[in-house]
Amino acid sequence: MEYENKIFLGDCGDILKGLPDNSIDLIFTSPPYADQRQKTYGGVSPDKYVDWFLPKTEQFLRVLKPSGTFILNIKERVVNGERHTYVIELILEMKKQGWLWTEEFMWHKKNSYPGKWPNRFRDNWERLIQFNKSKKFHMYQDAVMVPVGDWAKDRLSKLSETDLSRDESKVGSGFGKNVSNWVGRDKVYPTNVIHMATECTNKNHSAVFPVDLPKWFIKLFTQPGDAVLDPFVGSGTTALAALQLGRKYVGIDVNPEYVVISRERVAETQISLFSIAEEREEYQSTKDSEPTYKGTQ
């Protein structure tokens, strides 16, 4: 089956059976949360969520390369006044499947609206859970470095003796730091908390995340030409991010309307990227053909 740079209609558990083993470099997806998106995906009961999802993660495990990564954007739902444990249960069952629960990122939603509930505050973050097949996976940390920040101007201007070597934690935690490592640097590595606004222009989808969110992980775990899979592609945001970064994409969704929307968005992006490439080529061709003039002495 030809699968690269395509959006498929159907259940990802079935569609993925047509993909070869070890063919995907990154899986990035946000599946329907328990009891949510009922109008678009029918909703899945929290008590049945793990059984519903595990056959799909079995296929994810098969198609992912040993050097690849799976990022799962998900959040526990409140049921009868308390958080349900289906995400924790899912993690434990996936470990039994052979997955490694490697890391967890937090997406801080910078522009969430205020609200009030009798026993809790508004959710302002979501989990992005990292799974791998192997402890040795591809990770390109330099691709997501951030500006060092204003703190460095004062903190690094006058270094103490302990700043010039590894300073062990005073509380005996085993952690330490060498402040002098950052002298003269413009960028540093980020934390596992990602501060990013939510998508404000809904693309006819019930849960759209910003294109910069999959882009961040695509930069971190893949290189140009690698294959990125979103098995719940929705309006096609992950596919767009992959395309814009020069990666191959594979998208799957059970909703025919979303498949049409994502295909249209991808086609528009492809046309736009092609036009930009043509303009650059034309500009370079014109520049190369311009006569050069040598001054006289």
Q: What is the pLDDT of residue 173?
A: 47
Q: Check residues 186 and 62 and name the one with the higher pLDDT.
A: 62
Give CA–CA dist 97/50, Å, rounded.
12
Query: Helix or strand or coil: residue 85?
Result: coil
Tell me which amino acid residue 266 is. Answer: V
6-145+190-289: what CATH class? alpha beta
Q: Report the candidate in 109, 101, 106, 110 with the shortest Cα–Cα distance to residue 128.
A: 106
Please report which confidence band the pLDDT of residue 174 belongs to, taking 50, 70 and 90 as the band edges.
very low
The bridge status of strand 167-168 relative to strand 176-177 is antiparallel
Which phi and psi (to 5°) does residue 31 adopt?
Answer: -70, 165
The bridge status of strand 248-253 relative to strand 6-9 is parallel
Please report which confidence band the pLDDT of residue 79 belongs to, taking 50, 70 and 90 as the band edges.
confident
Percent of the chain having pLDDT more than 90?
57
What are the pLDDT digits (tens) for 198-235?
Answer: 865 555 544 578 999 999 999 999 999 999 999 999 99
Contacts of 277 (CB under 8 A, 6+ apart): none
Domain with CATH 3.40.50.150 in the chain: 6-145+190-289
**Distances 215 to 7, 22, 210, 228, 279 between C-alpha atoms, Å:** 18, 22, 9, 11, 25
Instruction: Identify the bridge partners of residue 104 per DSSP, sorted by sequence position.
Output: 129
DSSP codes, 199-232 = PSS--S-SSPPPTHHHHHHHHHH--TT-EEEETT
Give CA–CA dist 180/117, Å, rounded.
46
Instruction: Identify the bridge partners of residue 206 per DSSP, sorted by sequence position.
Output: none
Please report which confidence band the pLDDT of residue 176 belongs to, taking 50, 70 and 90 as the band edges.
very low
Q: Is 175's pLDDT higher than 80?
A: no
- Across the chain, mean pLDDT equals 83
Helical ranges in 42-138 per DSSP H: 49-63, 86-97
| Mean per-residue pLDDT, 142-153 | 75
Contact assessment for residue 121 and residue 207, using Cβ atoms and an 8 Å cutoff: no
Percent of the chain having pLDDT more than 70?
73
Q: What global pTM score does this model have?
A: 0.81
What are the pLDDT digits (tens) for 14-71?
Answer: 999 999 999 999 999 999 877 655 555 557 889 999 999 999 999 999 999 999 999 9
Q: How far is CA 267 from the centre of its chain?
A: 21
Contacts of 228 (CB under 8 A, 6+ apart): 24, 25, 26, 27, 28, 214, 218, 222, 238, 239, 241, 242, 247, 248, 249, 250
Q: Is 171's pLDDT higher than 90?
A: no
Q: What is the pLDDT of residue 249?
A: 97
Give CA–CA dist 30/258, Å, rounded.
14
Q: Which of 79-93, 104-118, 158-172 has the lowest mean pLDDT?
A: 158-172
Q: Report the candidate in 272, 140, 153, 260 with the shortest Cα–Cα distance to residue 204.
A: 260
Q: What is the pLDDT of residue 221?
A: 98
Q: Which of 3-12, 131-140, 270-279 has the lowest mean pLDDT?
A: 270-279
Query: Helix or strand or coil: residue 242?
Result: helix
